[in-house]
Amino acid sequence: MDTPVETNTNEPSLKNKQKLQGKVLKTSLQGALIDVGNALPGFLHVSQVINPENPEEIIKSLPDYLQIGQEVIVWVKRVLKDHVELTMKEPLALEWKEISPEMTLHGTIVRLESFGAFVELGAERPGLVHVSELSHQYVKVPAEVVKVGDEVDVKVLEVDKRKKQIKLSIKALQEAPEAVEEEPRKGRRGARPKKEELPEEPVEVIPDPTFMEIALRQAMDRAEKRQPEISRRVKRERYAETDADELYDRTMRNKLSKDD
């Protein structure tokens, strides 16, 4: 639906994006002076002038498109203290800076894909309702619950201004169904009895060994490993002492024999 054009009035206040009908008063290289019926003069910069037959065309010569006395449709771009900036480019209903999470918006389904539905909101790009956000019930494909042309209310979940993406949800505005308790399955002889829950046996908690206990265990392990070596060393020492004693005894006996 087209936005109604404001008639020329002497009302001093204007709003951004307001649609107006004006008359060209004067043209220059920079732009045109437009009478919009307001106390503040309206200025239409040459960059904001469009060719209705080719909106993408870059306007270089303003007199080729605007003449004094010509009626034009313009929108308020910005209201300043001494003049009003105008544009012939219809502004977006929603700018990126105006969209934020938790907002509730109204839009129209414009495209369906296997992964979701695109909703026209009046922004630069449509928003996406993922298939998982269409309903509280399981939805295999979006066409099961919506179709192109449907008007829907949606909640904004996330806005990525850098990627220019808007994530929406329909189910977030719908009341979630109450959970239904499942009845116990019945066999041939009635309901299946629940298994008796046995009390859990207490688990013995073994504390971690302390540093001293670890050091003591390591020392005992090393001593145990060295025990055969120590035994052999003791035996060698005993043999050496025995040999020394026998040598001493023989020496003394020999000496005594010589003395006699």
Residue range 21-34, pLDDT digits in tens: 999 999 998 999 99
| Residue 238 binned pLDDT confidence (cut-offs 50, 70, 90) | low
pLDDT of residue 7: 44
Average pLDDT, integer, range 6-11: 46
* Rounded CA separation 73/52 (Å): 11
| Residue 208 binned pLDDT confidence (cut-offs 50, 70, 90) | low
Assess whether the region 19-87 and the region 96-173 belong to the same CATH fold.
Answer: yes
Closest by CA position to 36, among listed 77, 86, 2, 88: 86
Tell me the backbone φ, ψ of residue 164, rounded to 5 degrees. Answer: 55, 55
Closest by CA position to 119, among listed 95, 102, 100, 111: 111
* Rounded CA separation 77/88 (Å): 9
* Rounded CA separation 45/62 (Å): 10
- pTM (predicted TM-score): 0.55
Q: Which CATH number fits domain 96-173: 3.40.50.12780, 1.20.1440.230, 2.40.50.140, 3.40.50.1450?
A: 2.40.50.140
Does the structure show a pLDDT above 90 at 71? Answer: yes
Q: Which helix (H) or strand (E) holds 258?
A: helix 211-259
Task: Please identify, in words, the CATH class of the domain defined by 19-87.
Answer: mainly beta
pLDDT of residue 112: 96
Residue-range domain boundaries for the chain: 19-87, 96-173, 212-253
